[in-house]
């Protein structure tokens, strides 16, 4: 069996991270015991990461794939329209205050809207994107694209990228990500891992708490 293309393996990992992170924000916002600082940290990370991800697709990846296969353009353009809806939802999420205790109805509603759009969008995207990547994106071309994306990624909550990847990724997927990290960044991985673990543990706590409803 031929190994899975790096483009698909890495994109699948990123999608697993986006599903997990958006779900965790909703779950945490519904528990009044979740620390407001950790919720704000996760919210700010998600807004920055999702915007950067979709801009990279719209501005770089989609044009490359469409140039290689114009027939793929119809599906990719439709996905771009979903990005616009998600951008509006991200704007709402970015603006909502993160309150202590039970006063989180606005955050719950905004986070739920983003989570639902992200999950639906990824369900639509993968059947279109994965075949296009398999047909038209070599491992070498993907590595170049991936390194450009990593280099231009916003620093907001960068440790949470690592934390979620390690929670949802397989060893093979994590090795792909590590291979594209700048060498000088590797020295910061242990500290980033600990920082992410502290935040995620506080939000994934099994400690009982009252549920906040929108």
Rounded to two decimals, the pTM is 0.89
pLDDT band at 130 (very low <50, low <70, confident <90, very high): very high
Residue position matching structure tokens 């915007």? 51
CB 193: neighbour CB atoms within 10 A?
Answer: 14
* Residue 151 pLDDT greater than 90, yes or no: no
Tens of pLDDT, residues 77-121 = 888 788 889 999 999 999 999 977 778 999 999 999 999 999 999
| Residue 115 near residue 25, CB atoms below 8 Å | yes
pLDDT band at 75 (very low <50, low <70, confident <90, very high): confident
What span, in angstroms and rounded, lies between the C-alpha atoms of 68 and 153? 26
CB 116: neighbour CB atoms within 10 A?
Answer: 13
CB 91: neighbour CB atoms within 10 A?
Answer: 13
| Residue 114 near residue 89, CB atoms below 8 Å | yes
C-alpha to C-alpha distances, 172 to 3, 10, 123, 182, 185, nearest whole angstrom: 11, 10, 23, 18, 20
- At 91 the pLDDT is 97
What span, in angstroms and rounded, lies between the C-alpha atoms of 57 and 184? 26
pLDDT band at 2 (very low <50, low <70, confident <90, very high): low
Q: Which residues contact 172 (CB under 8 A, 6 or more apart)?
A: 9
What span, in angstroms and rounded, lies between the C-alpha atoms of 214 and 207? 21
Region of poorest pLDDT, from 48-57, 117-126, 171-180: 171-180
Region of poorest pLDDT, from 62-66, 101-105, 195-199: 101-105
The secondary structure of 170-211 as a DSSP string is: -HHHHHHHHHHS-GGGGGGHHHHHHHHHHHHHHHS-----PB
């Amino acid at each position: 069996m031929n190994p899975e293309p790096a483009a698909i393996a890495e994109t699948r990992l990123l999608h697993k991270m986006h599903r997990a992170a958006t779900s965790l924000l909703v779950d945490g916002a519904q528990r009044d015991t979740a620390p407001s600082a950790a919720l704000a940290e996760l919210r700010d990370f998600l807004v920055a990461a999702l915007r950067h991800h979709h801009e990279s697709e719209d501005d770089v990846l989609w044009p490359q794939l469409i140039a290689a296969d114009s027939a793929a353009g119809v599906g990719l353009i439709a996905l771009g329209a979903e990005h616009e809806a998600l951008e509006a939802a991200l704007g709402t999420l970015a603006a909502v205050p993160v309150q202590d205790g039970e006063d989180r109805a606005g955050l719950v509603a905004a986070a739920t809207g983003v989570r639902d759009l992200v999950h639906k969008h990824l369900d639509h995207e993968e059947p279109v994107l994965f075949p296009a990547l398999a047909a038209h994106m070599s491992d070498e071309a993907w590595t170049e694209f991936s390194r450009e994306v990593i280099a231009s990624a916003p620093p907001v909550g960068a440790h949470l990228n690592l934390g979620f990847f390690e929670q949802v990724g397989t060893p093979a997927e994590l090795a792909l990500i590590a291979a594209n990290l700048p060498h000088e960044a590797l020295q910061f991985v242990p500290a980033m891992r600990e920082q992410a673990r502290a935040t995620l543990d506080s939000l994934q706590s099994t400690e009982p708490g009252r549920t906040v409803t929108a």
